[in-house]
Each structure stands twice: as structure tokens, then as C-alpha cells.
Structure 1
Amino acid sequence: MKIKLRSLLQIKLNSQTSKIILSLLLICLSVRLLPYFAPIRTADIVQNQLAMQFSDRNGLPLGTLLTRDQEHTAVVPLNQVSPQFIQAILAAEDGSFYQHGALDIKAIIRAIKEAIHAKRIVSGASTITMQLARMLNPVPRNLLGKVQEIWLSWRLTAGMNKDEILAAYINRLPMGGNIYGVEAAARTYFSIPASDLNLAQASLLAAIPNNPTYFNPYEHWERLKQRQQYVLNRMVMDGYINQAIAEQISTEKVVFQSHQKGIIAAPHFLFWLANQISSTKEQSLIRTTINRPLQQFVETQVQQVIASVAANNVHDAAALVIDNHTGEVLAYVGSPDYFNEAKLGRNDGVQALRQPGSTLKPFVYELALEKGVIRPNTILADVPAHYAIPGAQLYSPTDYTETFLGPVRVRVALANSLNVPAVRVLEKVGVQTFLERLHQLGFTHLNQTPEYYGLGLTLGSGEVNLWELARAYVTMARQGEATPLLTTLSDSSKENCYRRYTQINEAVRWAGSPTCSNCRADKSICGSLFSNRTTWQLITDMLSDSHARATAFGVDSVLNLPFPAAVKTGTSSNFRDTWTVGFTTDYTVATWVGNFNGEPMRQVSGVTGAAPLWNRIMLHLHEHQEPAAFPSPENLVQLPICAISGLQPTPDCTSVVQEYFYPEDKIAYANQHDFKLPSEYDDWLAKQPQSNLVFSNLRIVSPHNGDLFLLYPGEEGQQKLELKLARTKSQPVEWWLNNEKLATQSANSLFWHLRPGSWTLEARSGQMSDKVNFQVKVATLKPTRRGFSL
């Protein structure tokens, strides 16, 4: 009876076990079949971001294998890859790839046994399919990640055959740095296609993907050679080669090309351009506007100029050269050495946002002339000025020299980059109006409110990049006609676009037309026209006037070229950035010198930092042919003026210059003779030596008319007031106070002891005189309670 019950129980248990096993088998089968309901096919993982090959405007190569995501990637079919490389990569990564499925069960069992025996992970069991899965979808190295990796591997196997999986794998192999795929590696390291790889080259390349950083051929050659030996040994074991060949190949000398070989010139430009080109448009060769000989010249000059000022803590520079006639970018240098990672060489100084210093001043003056806020002969006050800023201290702009020139012409103020006159002009124009104009010129990064920038906008309180600056100066060079900066010649519609919009009448603004939408360029300013050509011509005339800028830069500075050139420098606060942007009728050159890490330079300004680089490039551009002269401002006449008044010269005027006038201003010019500096000059005049004054009248500058002075009780006869005047001629002066003569002297000042009363002070010298009224009162001090103080 007991035996029978035991038999029945055993039968029942066997039945339950069978059901469990069957259920598990069904579950496993279902799981294994699921990938076939969601297969991944070749078309699903096609690589769209393929390598691009760039040439300069004349067909000279600039660089290859560059993609939009800044990775060197090239895709080739399996039959265009050297058989030696296919054998080497199979031997190194998955010797039985064609014999197993998505997973290699034997390899998994072997890896587990080795791990148990050594009590650590000795070898992996990832197949090529599993590695491809990780490339397509990187996951964490944990249990969940491994499950996801296996699932994706099954889906790949369900939708692709072995050759398709292997092709997808070798086209994605990490080959060091930003190089991906065997084709990219072959071209970058050896300048040959993957189909031409020999066994020595192939075995070295097959050694890299295991750990691209650790086996970097430029930095860890010995490590790479050891890994190559491993690959060759595996090829011997798998029967691809014999031991003799392996030993021969391991000693064969293989030369890797220079690290920069993949990019011959203009690396910053190529990486930037690759990100601009639509990913939907595949191009095997992209013909750019770059002139390679010029590009390489500029690259060399950037390096040399930086080396010459390195002692002043200057390490970085950038430059841009543009053809004014077409808007084509001819040279684009983002740093002294793109490949020097230790010095932040990959930073692109052309696109980096920095404070532009005074390089925006020409645009506020042009706008002020256009709106009639100033005239060419306007006199501006370069004297101390103070502006109230809400929630902050007074804003008191000063110049680099911390000196003031007093009355200056617009031409002199702009050419010498004087800060106070520029701020005064911006105050008249309005910050919001100026900001709108800068937006029209293409300064898209100035996206804060007018209140944020304030009056400091004209001195560089915002942030722009060299690209925007160059584009705006090209507009100036084209006399107010804006054009997008062109970078490629591969699309003929672009040249047609340029021809179309340059034929449009100047008086018509037509930004955003259908033709412009076909240009791969800056559509925001495509075809914009600033109608007043005369004001742009005036600004160009002022910026090209070497005599006008002599006060600040001297007559022989690097800004003076042997041919007509308009130029403006800029220096940001704390000497962190120096700029020089200028143009001839043919070319615009924009340069920046500074430090990417933001450190200030020592004793370096725009004229000593960026200007020498600008000078070298300009001289090179016009080495064989000088540019045409700038056109004179249209419909204007030149008349002599007194430099201090801006009016028709009088016999007493000691400095007469020529300046442009609008025809409607000629009548006022002929009828204005008397000139007296406004009261805002008094404090400045009081500090000037006699020889610096250039006006015909006598001027009492201290005290001011209407001043009130307080005399403290008990200090009568002790407090003194300086009576001071400004004048041109060194003649004796009689001082009169309430019609009583105080003194006669040649000096410009006299001290007088304060006495209560109302006083009329008069100064007389020959036929000239000046008179002011002021008061002196005894101060009334309120009594205070003991223990308290005011």
C-alpha cells in the first residue's frame, strides 16, 4: 500500500515538473520569438550623418570625414573593405561570429568558468552583434542594461543577416578621438581608402576599438603594438595567417599620418560649417568659399602675432577675411592651434561671444547722422559727464588715458574712439533706437532689453562675436547694403541669389524674399538696404582719415596702410578682449586677440593686440594690387571750418580744417561767426593750460554765473575763492569786482578772500571781456542739544 502511494505521488510530482518545464520552455520560446515581431533592419539604422569632404574655392582639399556632430565618420559597403581588416577584426572581437547567433553560449559559459576560477572577470562574452547593440543604444553596465542589450541584439538578428550586421559594426567602430568607422580611420591615419589597407595597417586598426583612448596611436604607440600582437596571434589561431607572417607583420614599420592630416586647413570653419549644412542633404564634396593659400597665411600670422605678445599674457586670437563684392568668407581662423587641447584650441574665437569694446561706435554715429541728430561739423564735448543709473551709482565714462580733449569734431571723436562723445551721441539717439539698428545689422546676440545695456552699449556693454562684427562692417563697406556672408559655392542657386538681390533698387527693403530663402546664409539680413548711402560714406571717410586719429594713435601706427583703408579698434573692460575691424573697397578683415579663459592681458589694447594682425593680413591681401579709393560722400561739399567751433573760421582761429557739409547747411555756415563754448566746458576749461585754448573770446570759468558760496562764522578773511579764466592770447588781464579794480596780471587766476555780499566779477583784456555774478552768504548754524550731533 505504501509503495503504491509513493508511486502515485512520484507520478504526480513528475507531472507537475513536466508542466513547469514545459511552461518555462514555452515562455523562453515566446521571448525568443518576440524579436521577430519587432525586427531591426538595415534601413532602420542607416547612418545619415556621413563624412563630408571639403575643398576650397579652387578645388584644393581642406579636410575630409567631418560630420555635423563633429565626428569623423564614413560609411562603406562590406565589399569595399580590405579582407585583411575583416579577418583582423573578427579574430580580435568575435572569432566565431558567423557560427553563432546574437549570443555566443560557449563564450558565455567559458567566461563564467574563468570568472569563478579567478574570482574576477577575466574575459567578456560580447559578440559583434551585442557590441553593435551598445553602439546603437548605450546602456548602463548593470543587469538591466545587459538585458536591454540582449533584447536589441535579438532584434538585430531577426532583421539583418550576418554581413549586414558586420557592415553596420565596422562603420561605427570607435577608432580614436572623434574618428568612427574603418573608412574614416584608413583615410585619417593613412590617407587611403579602407579597401587598400594591408595586413600591417589592418591589424593595427583592428587593435584600436577595444579601448580607443588606451590604444591611441599618437600617444600610446607601445600599447597599440602589444594589442596588435594579440590580434595577429588570434588570426593565427583562427587560421587566417601562419606564425611566420604574424612575426613578419609585427616588425613591419607602419607610419601614421600627422594628427592634423585629416584636416589640412580651416578646422574651426569646417566644424562650424558642418553644423550649418542640412543633415537631409548628403554631399560627398562641398566646395567652400575659402581660399586655402590665404587661409594658411592667416593661420600662420595668428600664431606669429600671438607668439610676439605671449609675454603680455596673450594666448588666443581669431581672424576673418571677407570679399566685400560677394560676401564670401575667404579665411576663417578660430584659434592659433585647433589641435592644442591644453590651450583650449578647439574654442572658436570667430563665434565666441565677447564684449566688443568700441567697435560698435561707428554704427551709433552713422545712425545719428542719418537721423539728423548730429551734422558732420558738429562739435561734441569731450569733458567729464555723469549719468544717473537707476539703482546704481553715477555712470561716468572715461577714456583709456583718463584725459579729456574738450570740444572735438565728430570726425575726431570717432577716429580717436573717444568715449564721452560717443555716450553723448547715444543719449541723443536713444538706446532702444540704436539697439534696433544693431538688430537690423545682424547682431542677434544682443537680445537683452535697452535698460540692461544702457548708455554703455556704444562702449561694448553687450556681447557679440567676430562673425557679427565682420558682417556689419561689410555692410558699411558696401555703403549700407547688407549681404549675407557666404561660405559655400556648391549650390549655384546661391550665386544666383546674390546676383538677384544686388540688382534690387537701393530704396527698396525686401528682407526675407523667396530668392533669399534659397541661400544658405544669414536670412535675417538678406538683401536689407539702409537707404542713406551718404551717411555710410561719411563714416567710412572718417574711419579712413589717418590725420583725424593721430591724437590717439599717432601718424605712423599699424592702422595706417599705404592705401585707403577704414578701420576701428576696440578694447573691452579690464583688457580682456582687443579687436580691430576694417576694410578697403575689396576686403573686410576682422581680428580678435585675447584669452579664451577670460584672463586680462597686460598692457595690450586694440592697437597693440589685434591691429598688428589686421595690418599683416591687409598688406598681404593687397600685395599685388592696391584697392580703389573710397567714393567721396555724395551730394556734400567741403568747406573750411574752425576746428574748435565747427563754424566758418575767424581771424582768431588757430586751427582750420576741411569738413563736409550738407547743401542746406551752407547758409547757416556763412552767417555764423560768434562762438562761445557752453557752460558744460567750464570745469574742463579751468584745468587747461593757456596754450591749449583756441577760441576768440575771454572766458571766466570760476566762479560760474549764479554761484552761491557759504562763509562760516568766524572764518572771515580765511576762506579763499580762485578767480580763473580761459583765453587765447597772453595779454594782461584786469580783474574788477563790483566795479572796483582788484589787480592787473598776466596769469589766468587770482585768489580772493570771501566776503559776504552780491558780487559782479569782470575780466578785461584789450577788447575782450567777460562778466559773472555770484553771492557770498554767512552760513547759519542751527544750535544743537548737548549730547546730540548733526
Structure 2
Amino acid sequence: MKPTSRWLIKMKRKFWHQCDRKISKVILAMLLMCLVMRSLPYFAPIRAADITQNQLAMQFSDRNGLPLGTLLTRDQDHTAVVPLNQVSPQFIHAILAAEDGSFYQHGALDMTAVVRAIKEAIHAKRIVSGASTITMQLARMLDPSSRTFLGKVREIWLSWRLTAGMNKDDILSAYINRLPMGGNIYGVEAAARTYFSIPASDLNLAQASLLAAIPNNPTYFDPLQHWARLQQRQRYVLNRMVLDGYITRATAEQTYSEKVVFQSRQRGIIAAPHFLFWLSTQLPPQHSSPIRTTINRPLQQFVEAQVQQVLSSLAANNVHDAAALAIDNHTGEVLAYVGSPDYFNEFKLGRNDGVQALRQPGSTLKPFVYELALEKGLIRPNTILADVPAHYAIPGAKLYSPTDYTERFLGPVRVRVALANSLNVPAVRVLEKVGVQTFLERLHQLGFAHLNRSAEYYGLGLTLGSGEVSLWELARAYVTLARQGQATPLIPCTDEINRVSTPHSPISCTDAMNRVSTSHSPLPNRTTWQLITNMLSDSHARATAFGVDSVLSLPFATAVKTGTSSNFRDTWTVGFTSDYTVATWVGNFNGEPMRQVSGVTGAAPLWNRIMLHLHEHQEPADFLPPEGLVQLPICAISGLRPTPDCTSVVQEYFSPADKIAYDTQTDFNLPPEYDEWLARQQQTSIATNNFRILSPHNGDIFLLYPSAQTQQKLELKLAGTKSAPVEWWLNGQKLDSQSANTLFWHLRPGNWTLEARSGEMSDKVSFQVELAGMKTARRGFSIVDSKIRSDRP
């Protein structure tokens, strides 16, 4: 062999020897890295205690132990946790066969399945089958990640940590207790109880194979909506069980043909679904079960039925939703809680909770502004309030001119009448006296936590419902009114059953409610609360707006208030007896206005039915009269001691300090704010001592159009005439008049002084009449149909 050839062979051997050494080092490094990576999970293992399911299913009962519902968790998912030995072997075999047949033979990853999946994907040029093990699926349940490369790496890492800290049974147990089983049901125990009303330990093969088919795609295989699809998946599960040797082919065929009936997911809740879901979010994680609530199930089911019946009768008026609460005044316990007509009707927004939703309360806050004004001495029970046009300047906005939906004004009214008939203008006048900020602070004391904007934001419209409150807050405030100013939280569950422990201190149901409730300060002056109750229970006082025999009038003592929000989007009725408070709301969750529906026609019929049912077997006690006050006769128009001219005498309450003024004061003078209202009255029975000319006003200027000089007339109108004769004088000349307090005078250009005389009383005003085109008339006045019309804001 030539020397050159020997040298080449020698160099080749040296080269390959060096390559082998490098490759060995690389392989060794890679093996070392894999070993380190595979060992790292053991330094951060996940143990069974680390993933304990704290948010377990709750079982609820009513106050008498009757079941209300089960399997409800804080995140509104049905979850129940059971140990592996309390699950039917049939289900364990079925889920293993369906999801991971060799679960007990491989580690966190099934490398055989991985290789198979890769080969199938290469051959088909798409992903044909996955290679996720039960451990990897559990990792995905614990920490959902995106289906990307990095997401898959994260899933594998978490799977290794699970196998580092848990044995196979622990992993399988955690897995089957988290399986998605359709809708908001998770875990085999929850599914068995919801769909079949049995524990997971009692599942037979047919039931088990169907449940094991759901988790692969809970929406696609939903048993209540896609039965045919689920059956196809069940056949796959049974075939896998045959291949894995759990059952025979004959057993699989017999099982597949067996009829299985799934119960609706609604069957998990018997009554009060909104209440149960709400309560589950209020209780601490360390709760005991079952939870005994204060709900009265027969009453709850009655109220649920009445909600549907009332809405059915109002369907033609575009009314679709309602909510109701019934409270025990003595304890504050919640007896009935209905959030919508059908919680399980998702198409009609049934899951919306009308008890906790924020809506405009209309006039239901008025009793509290009147109580505060009485408490502060700004008004008295015999105070006369002006229900006449009023206008308030709001910076940066149009003039605020409150009116009632009838767009009529009653003139001078008593506090009792103004509140009972829910008149808007008097309520705004009272709020103006009280102050918006002061009233807002009182509402916060009453528990209206959601009225969290500034006083300037709400303005004087606060007493008419410019803010948003919940039915829960409203009911709680009326319970305070029913308890004569003694505030109390609303109690949804009982302490003696539901006291639970934390590492530091015991927590009861009431403790939990107090933590989430607005704190209540003691409210003063029991007498003023009794006065408001007396006014709200006076069916004769509210007769003007509601009539004496409306649905608000019951055969026993009841105080009640209605409310309607702007554009008729919400109607409310809240009232109480000495024993119970009932609050109802009727409207539309989507905000659509109702047609021809007010508080008395919308929410009041529902309130009426609940109240009658509550007192079906025992009538409530009468309300106590206001303490320390005496009743005296007053003139209904003046609020003063009656005189022979008074046409209507009623009884009203007085404090001993006010009795002195009652005995001495008889003069009744309407202030100028009544002038516009008086001028518009065709006739009035109001007799006052303030004799004055209402039309024209002093300083008015009127335009006279030459083409209509014979047609234009000015109405001369007078107030306070009583029965004495009246003489009208214009620029010193007496006018012929056939009416005591009104006549029409043909306009003539000039400066005019008008005087009215009646006995020793007289009044005088001056005005001008100018030819059109010579001078601009006073803004706000125009000639219409031979009469003067005032358009002043």
C-alpha cells in the first residue's frame, strides 16, 4: 500500500474518531438536559392538596328543611366532588376507554400515542387524532392555555408536575371531578345528580357510557339538544370498552339499545334560582352544606306563579319581565325572592336578576324625603304645599319644570295628599327645602349604596327617581319604614344551621351578609316614621289619583307606595303591613317602554296578590298612631282651624307645640306662586283672604293689531272674592260686570290702571296696550283667540 493511501486512511479514522467524540458529547449533553428538565418537575410538584376544589356544590333548603336546589357553586357552575371509590366502576371504565385507555401504563405523556398521531398527521396532511392523556387534559383544566406550540409546552410542563406530586388515582379523581358535562355542570357526581337524580356510585353502564361521551365536546354532544350526536359518541365509547376488555360485544349492543332519559338541567333547582345564585356569591368559601335559607318554599312557588300570571295579563301592553321580594318585618328574613319570570329562558334574558338590577325607582323614594322634612321641622303634617307650575334653573341645561303624568295641578294640597297621590311638584319643593345633599346622605343611611354620584348629578329629580336603585335596596328601606325607623339588614339564611369556621374566627350567614351590606346608622324620631306610615295607609288621601277601591286598598291596614320611571320603562309597588314588606317591579329588561302601564296597573296587581296570600289565614295588627301627637280638625284647603267658609274639614295630626298656632291662626293667604294656577282655573271653591288681581299682571304690555281691534279681548281675573260684590274700575271709570271675579275687556291703546274693589278690600295693577309694530310686547305674552295666553316658563 502506498504511503499516501495509508496517510489518507489514518486521517479518515482520526476525523471519524473526533466526530464520534463530538456526537457523544452532544448526545450526552442532550441526555443530561433531558434528565435535568425531566427532574425539575420533582422540585415543584403539584400535590392533590394543592388543587383541592374549594368551590364545591352547595345544597340549599328552605326555612323548614324543604330542598330548594343543589350543585350550585360560587361561579355559577354545578360542581360536586366525590372520592374515586364513590364513583361507579362502569363510569371509570367508560371514561378511561374513551379518553385514555392506557392511562395506568404510561406517564404524563403517552409516547406511543404521540408517534401514532404524528404518523397519521404526516400521511393525511392534517391532524387526525390527538395524543392528549388524562393527565394533560387535567393540566388544561387547571390552567387553560392557547393551542399553540408554547401553549403545548406549558401543558406538558404542568403534566409533569402533576405526575411528580400525585399518583394515578389522585390524578384520575381530580379529572373526573372537573369533567365538563354540558351547560354549567362539572364533574361526574354533579352530572349524575342533575341528569338522573342519583349519585355517581349508582350509574349503570348505559348511563355511564353516555356521560363519558359528553366531555369530548360538551356543546356538540349536549344531551338535551343533540341526542343523536351523543348516541353516536356513546357507540364509540362502548366499542372502546369492548376493545379494552371491559365488556363484551353483546353487552355493548344491549347497552346501546337501552333507553335512557335525561332530566333537564333545571331539575337541579326546585325553586328560587336567582336567589340561590345570588346567595352563593355572597357566602365565604368555607361554608357548610346544606345551607338552610329563610325562603318559604310554598310562598316562593306561589310568587313565581303569580309573576307569570300577571305578566301574561299584561303581554298586550309590551310587558315581559317582573321581580318580587317578600320580607318578614320582625326579623328582616327574606321569605320569597323572584328575579325574573323564568330563570332558565335565556332567549328572554331570564338570568337577569330584577331584584339586584339597577333601575330608576320613580316616586318610591318620596316617603323618605317627606320623613326627613318632617323630622327637621321644615314641614308639618298640616303644611299646605303648592301643586302649581314650578320652574328651576339648572346650569348648562334647560329649565326643569316637574309635572305629573296627568299634566294637571291641584293647587294648594296638604302634605298627606301630596304624598299619598304621589304629586311631583310638591315633592320637588320639599326636596328643595331639605337639600339634595342632605337627602342623599339619608338615602345612604337607608342602604342605597348604588346612589354613589354627587348631589349635583342627581339634582332635584332625585326624589322623582333620577338615580338608580335595586329592588333589594328599596325593600330594605321600606322595612326600615315599617319598623318605624329601626334599620335592619335583610337576612337570607339562618345562623344556627349555617355557622362556618375559618382559621381565625367563626363566620355566620348573617355575618357574611353584614359584611356586604351598607352599614346602618340609627335613624331618629320614631314619630315621623309613624306619620309617614299613617299617610301611606290612608286610602282616602290617595283617592284623587288612585280611587278609594284600587288594588292598593286591602281589607287590612297596609301602607303602600307606587312608582313609575320616565317613559314607562319601570313600574314599582312597595308596601307593608305590621308583619310583612312586599316589593314588586314590572318592566322590561331590554329597556323597552311599556304601553299604558303605570305603577298601579303594572306592579301593584302582583303586590296585591302576594299581600293577600301572606295574610290569608291571619290579618295583621293595625299600625300604631304617631306617638305624642293629637288629631285636630282642619280645613282641607288651608290646613288651619276650620272657619265657616271652609267647605271641607278633615282630621290631621299636631304636636302639642303646634297647637297654640292652631288655636290662633285662621287667615289663609295664597302667595303669588299660585297666581298662574289660579288664573287658569275656570272656577274654584278656594276662598282666601288675599284679594288680588290675577290677570293682567302689573307692568304687562300687550300688542293690539289694527285689523282685529274689535276682536281682541283681555281677561280680567280676580282671586279672593268670596261672596261679596266686586267692582272693576279702569282709569277711574267703573266697568259693567256680570261676574264677580272675571270679565273680558276690549283692548284699546294706552296706559291703563285697573282696580278691583270689594267692600274694604281692593287691588290695583297697571298695564299698557300698544299698536302692533310700535313696540315689542313683554316677552312671553301673545294674543290667541281673543284671549291672553301666558307662555312664561
Q: Report if TM-score (shorter chain) is over 0.5.
A: yes
Give the Cα–Cα distance (whole angstroms) in 1 for the partners of residues 518 and 137 of structure 2: 48
Q: Report whether the alignment pairs 1:574 with 2:579.
A: no
Matches within 5 A, 1:40-119: 40-119=46-125
Match of 1:757 among 751, 757, 771: 751
Give the Cα–Cα distance (whole angstroms) in 2 for the partners of residues 122 and 88 of structure 1: 22
SS in 1 for 2:335: strand
Give the Cα–Cα distance (whole angstroms) in 2 for the partners of residues 493 and 35 of structure 1: 41
Matches within 5 A, 1:573-612: 573-612=566-605
Match of 1:373 among 378, 383, 391: 378
1:119–1:2: structure 2 CA closer, same or farther, 3 Å change rule?
same
List runs of 5+ in structure 2 lacking aligned partners: 1-6, 501-506, 776-793
SS in 2 for 1:342: coil
2:443 corresponds in structure 1 to: 438
2:666 corresponds in structure 1 to: 673
Between the two proteins, what is the percent identity of the paired residues? 76
Structure 1 residue 122: Cα displacement: 1.2
Match of 1:648 among 635, 641, 644: 641
Give the Cα–Cα distance (whole angstroms) in 1 for the partners of residues 191 and 299 of structure 2: 29
Structure 1 residue 518: Cα displacement: 4.0
Structure 1 residue 256: Cα displacement: 1.6
Q: Report whether the alignment pairs 1:203 with 2:196.
A: no
Deviates more, 1:101-110 or 1:728-737: 728-737
1:700–1:651: structure 2 CA closer, same or farther, 3 Å change rule?
same
Deviates more, 1:634-643 or 1:333-342: 634-643
Matches within 5 A, 1:679-758: 679-695=672-688, 699-704=692-697, 706-709=698-701, 720-726=713-719, 733-746=726-739, 748-757=742-751
1:737–1:82: structure 2 CA closer, same or farther, 3 Å change rule?
same
Instruction: Say whether the 8 Å CA contact 2:632–2:652 is kept in structure 1.
Output: yes
Instruction: Say whether the 8 Å CA contact 2:687–2:722 is kept in structure 1.
Output: no
Match of 1:428 among 433, 450, 462: 433
Give the Cα–Cα distance (whole angstroms) in 1 for the partners of residues 520 and 228 of structure 2: 58
Q: Which string of whole-angstrom CA distances, capped at 9 and with x for unpartnered residues, describes residues 399-427 of structure 1?
A: 01111111101000000000000000000
Instruction: Say whether the 8 Å CA contact 1:690–1:728 is kept in structure 2.
Output: no
Q: Which string of whole-angstrom CA distances, capped at 9 and with x for unpartnered residues, describes residues 638-693 of structure 1?
A: 11111111011111111111111111111111111221211111111111121454
1:151 corresponds in structure 2 to: 157
Structure 2: which amino acid aligns with 1:486?
I
1:697–1:430: structure 2 CA closer, same or farther, 3 Å change rule?
closer
1:788 corresponds in structure 2 to: none
Q: Report whether the alignment pairs 1:552 with 2:531.
A: no
Matches within 5 A, 1:255-654: 255-279=261-285, 281-491=286-496, 518=511, 520-521=513-514, 528-654=521-647
1:657 corresponds in structure 2 to: 650
Structure 1 residue 551: Cα displacement: 0.6
Give the Cα–Cα distance (whole angstroms) in 2 for the partners of residues 329 and 117 of structure 1: 65
Match of 2:188 among 161, 177, 182: 182
SS in 2 for 1:343: coil
SS in 2 for 1:229: helix
TM-score (norm 1): 0.93
Give the Cα–Cα distance (whole angstroms) in 1 for the partners of residues 76 and 120 of structure 2: 40
Deviates more, 1:661-670 or 1:363-372: 661-670
Deviates more, 1:209-218 or 1:707-716: 707-716
Structure 1: which amino acid aligns with 2:537?
S
Instruction: Say whether the 8 Å CA contact 1:736–1:743 is kept in structure 2.
Output: no
Give the Cα–Cα distance (whole angstroms) in 2 for the partners of residues 17 and 740 of structure 1: 131
1:632–1:523: structure 2 CA closer, same or farther, 3 Å change rule?
farther
Give the Cα–Cα distance (whole angstroms) in 2 for the partners of residues 720 and 494 of structure 1: 81
1:310–1:531: structure 2 CA closer, same or farther, 3 Å change rule?
same
Structure 2: which amino acid aligns with 1:589?
V
Q: Which string of whole-angstrom CA distances, capped at 9 and with x for unpartnered residues, describes residues 440-482 of structure 1?
A: 0000000000000000000000010000000000000000000
Deviates more, 1:45-54 or 1:527-536: 527-536
SS in 2 for 1:690: coil
1:25 corresponds in structure 2 to: 31
Q: Which string of whole-angstrom CA distances, capped at 9 and with x for unpartnered residues, describes residues 271-299 of structure 1?
A: 000000011x1312100000000000001
Structure 1 residue 533: Cα displacement: 0.8
Instruction: Say whether the 8 Å CA contact 1:700–1:763 is kept in structure 2.
Output: no
Give the Cα–Cα distance (whole angstroms) in 1 for the partners of residues 403 and 713 of structure 2: 31
1:754–1:423: structure 2 CA closer, same or farther, 3 Å change rule?
farther
Give the Cα–Cα distance (whole angstroms) in 2 for the partners of residues 633 and 494 of structure 1: 40
Match of 2:144 among 138, 149, 164: 138
Give the Cα–Cα distance (whole angstroms) in 1 for the partners of residues 532 and 451 of structure 2: 23
Instruction: Say whether the 8 Å CA contact 2:84–2:173 is kept in structure 1.
Output: yes
Structure 1 residue 486: Cα displacement: 0.5
Q: Which string of whole-angstrom CA distances, capped at 9 and with x for unpartnered residues, describes residues 475-518 of structure 1?
A: 000000000100111447999xxxxxxxxxxxxxxxxxx99994
Instruction: Say whether the 8 Å CA contact 1:732–1:745 is kept in structure 2.
Output: no
Q: Which string of whole-angstrom CA distances, capped at 9 and with x for unpartnered residues, describes residues 596-624 of structure 1?
A: 11111111111111011000000100011
Structure 2: which amino acid aligns with 1:603?
Q
1:752–1:308: structure 2 CA closer, same or farther, 3 Å change rule?
same
List runs of 5+ in structure 1 lacking aligned partners: 496-513, 784-790
Give the Cα–Cα distance (whole angstroms) in 2 for the partners of residues 207 and 311 of structure 1: 45
Instruction: Say whether the 8 Å CA contact 1:453–1:461 is kept in structure 2.
Output: yes
Structure 1: which amino acid aligns with 2:559?
A
Structure 1 residue 3: Cα displacement: 1.7
Deviates more, 1:716-725 or 1:291-300: 716-725
Structure 2: which amino acid aligns with 1:681?
Y
Instruction: Say whether the 8 Å CA contact 1:286–1:490 is kept in structure 2.
Output: no
1:504 corresponds in structure 2 to: none
Instruction: Say whether the 8 Å CA contact 1:378–1:410 is kept in structure 2.
Output: yes
TM-score (norm 2): 0.93
Equivalent pairs, count: 762
Give the Cα–Cα distance (whole angstroms) in 1 for the partners of residues 515 and 581 of structure 2: 17
SS in 2 for 1:592: strand
Q: Which string of whole-angstrom CA distances, capped at 9 and with x for unpartnered residues, describes residues 562-619 of structure 1?
A: 1110000001111111100000000000000111111111111111110110000001
Give the Cα–Cα distance (whole angstroms) in 2 for the partners of residues 485 and 92 of structure 1: 49
Give the Cα–Cα distance (whole angstroms) in 1 for the partners of residues 336 and 553 of structure 2: 22
Structure 2: which amino acid aligns with 1:87?
H
Q: Report whether the alignment pairs 1:39 with 2:45.
A: yes
